[in-house]
Amino acid sequence: MVGHLVQDTYESFGYMGQMLGPNPIDIPWDMVHANTAETAKYKGGKLWKFYEDHPEREEQFFQAMRAVEGLGGTAMALDAPFSKFDRVIDIGGSSGHFLYKVPRAHPQQKGV
């Protein structure tokens, strides 16, 4: 589901796999943006502060998240292998609707 073309987060998605490896990184956003003049002050996971300071970019991000979830959220909840997990954590930027869909499709799970 992650993979929409939002200029502020698109490149960071490429680092998400490294969050789970033997030497995990903490924040993919920092790997891409921490050293640029525009975003260095947002290092350390301050993406939401960045969006607070740039409301037009925040709106772009939220529209993209809503669109992606609206296009495929139900299918993803039904078809993805969520049943092998005890809980699902929704860390997206939409309205939280996906978090309701997964436990409905897999009642043994808890959503966070």
What is the 8-class DSSP label of residue 68? H
Q: Is residue 97 a part of any domain in this protein?
A: yes
- pLDDT of amino acid 1: 44
Q: Quote the pTM value.
A: 0.57
8 Å CB contact between 44 and 37:
no
Number of other residues whose CB lies within 10 A of the CB of residue 62: 16
8 Å CB contact between 36 and 8:
no
Number of other residues whose CB lies within 10 A of the CB of residue 27: 17
* Residues of the chain falling short of pLDDT 70: 1-10, 13, 16, 29, 34, 92-94
Q: Is residue 3 a part of any domain in this protein?
A: no
Distance CA 79, CA 72 (A): 10
Distance CA 47, CA 9 (A): 9
User: Residue 42 belongs to what domain range?
Assistant: 11-111
- pLDDT of amino acid 53: 92
Question: What residues are paired with 111 via a beta bridge?
Answer: 88
Q: Is residue 5 a part of any domain in this protein?
A: no
Domain total in the chain: 1
Q: Is residue 89 a part of any domain in this protein?
A: yes
